[in-house]
Chains A and B, each alone.
Chain A
């Protein structure tokens, strides 16, 4: 039984066409299915095991209703078995209503902190369908359209290096520039002898800089 469910989880996972959702047959005629209509292509299939909706080849949704929460710990077993059987990223959508609200903190702790899964609360199936639409859109979008995925191009180091050198007590912008023109990098500056430093900034500051780099307490 477990083995069969395992394979069905994996099998469904590899065949989600772009912009589609593969849903568990049990959702036929539901408010979620109706909410998705016309927005994204929903294919309903049997044998998805624990999964309610496959969003892509990598992620899927497990839905926990208000009734599931009130009924006890059955949903926990389902989530744990999914976690053990599948390498998919599981997004758990939980119905957080006036009735199930009291269970939410414990459920969140279990799902996010103990199982390391993602949890998103919704008030009802209508909200769930709207959320699923956005999740699917995000999955089918280009990487670069997600502001949290594209790498910021690194700034020029020069301004930072100047700022770092100015953190040395007694060194302002003018002295920092003089030092960097002489010693080129923070590494070289740090390894300069007092005599070397004196040639650039004078005795007192040279000693102060040297002390800053070498003091151990």
Chain B
């Protein structure tokens, strides 16, 4: 029937962006997404974000041991705060640590810190998923892509850009607190950089597929006046010495 054909077609277009750092730390996730789940995987430099599964959602992958004590506290919280500045929704996959060669099995000793961390994440509305291995993480990622697709926020622009579009992408990526995907959407949603810069917040929201609030933030940035006096000393001095 035409309906099931349509469904198949949509399923075939499942797409996920993966940060290049995951090539070394999550190689089984990448291969499993491709081979087992038939998801289109685009590896690129996402700048502080492990996976992007939709226009609005980023996924951060953390091992259980990283959340067990305060040793990694700053790194973990900064990463997540950074994601919060860019994405409407964040999901953390807590993955069981791998058993290294020579180890028999690693006993998971739950800590107060771990419970407090989970509690803080939950209170802030961050989703948490638990995974026992990389294959399971891949499965969860695919499920997230599917859920987001059902809500019509799937990644639906070409994920590879070349030539002039690539230059425009770099330009858009330098806008503060913009996600890689919002920048990518802009490349495809606006005929030229000039069109984008002259857009209203409403048009930015549509073109970049971001919330109205985020669109207004971008609009303000584009229109904000540059005051040389406010430039940090370092950048300021260097620029001056050249003139």
Enumerate chain A interface residues (CB-CB to B < 8 A).
Answer: 91, 104-105, 108-109, 112-113, 118-123, 127, 130-131, 133-135, 137-139, 146-149, 152, 154-164, 166-169, 173-174, 176-178, 180-181, 184-187, 190-191, 212-217
- Known pairs A148-B121, A161-B224; list 16 more (Cβ under 8 Å): A113-B147, A119-B128, A139-B119, A148-B126, A157-B221, A159-B232, A169-B167, A173-B238, A174-B239, A174-B242, A177-B243, A180-B226, A185-B224, A187-B223, A190-B193, A212-B193
Whether B174 and A160, one on each chain, are in contact in the complex, defined by CB atoms closer than 8 angstroms, is yes
Whether B123 and A138, one on each chain, are in contact in the complex, defined by CB atoms closer than 8 angstroms, is yes
Chain A residues contacting B173 (CB-CB under 8 Å) are: 167
Given contacts A118-B122, A149-B123, A159-B231, contact A164 B81 (CB under 8 A): no
Closest residue to B118 on the A side, CB-wise?
Answer: A120
**Is B228 located at the chain interface by the 8 A CB criterion?**
yes
CA of A216 to CA of B194 in the docked complex: distance in angstroms? 9
CA of A162 to CA of B123 in the docked complex: distance in angstroms? 37
Chain A residues contacting B119 (CB-CB under 8 Å) are: 131, 134-135, 137-139
**Is B35 located at the chain interface by the 8 A CB criterion?**
no
Cβ contacts A to B, 16 pairs, < 8 Å: A133-B115, A146-B123, A147-B80, A148-B80, A158-B230, A159-B232, A166-B174, A180-B226, A181-B226, A186-B197, A186-B223, A187-B222, A191-B194, A214-B194, A217-B163, A217-B165
Q: Which size bracket describes the interface of B in this complex?
A: 35 or more
Whether B176 and A152, one on each chain, are in contact in the complex, defined by CB atoms closer than 8 angstroms, is no
Enumerate chain B interface residues (CB-CB to A < 8 A).
Answer: 77, 80-81, 84-85, 110, 112, 115-116, 118-124, 126-130, 136, 139, 143-144, 147, 163-165, 167-168, 170-171, 173-176, 191-194, 197-198, 221-228, 230-232, 235, 238-239, 242-243
Whether B143 and A161, one on each chain, are in contact in the complex, defined by CB atoms closer than 8 angstroms, is no
Whether B143 and A113, one on each chain, are in contact in the complex, defined by CB atoms closer than 8 angstroms, is yes
Whether A105 and B139, one on each chain, are in contact in the complex, defined by CB atoms closer than 8 angstroms, is yes
Whether B197 and A134, one on each chain, are in contact in the complex, defined by CB atoms closer than 8 angstroms, is no
Given contacts A109-B143, A130-B112, contact A217 B164 (CB under 8 A): yes
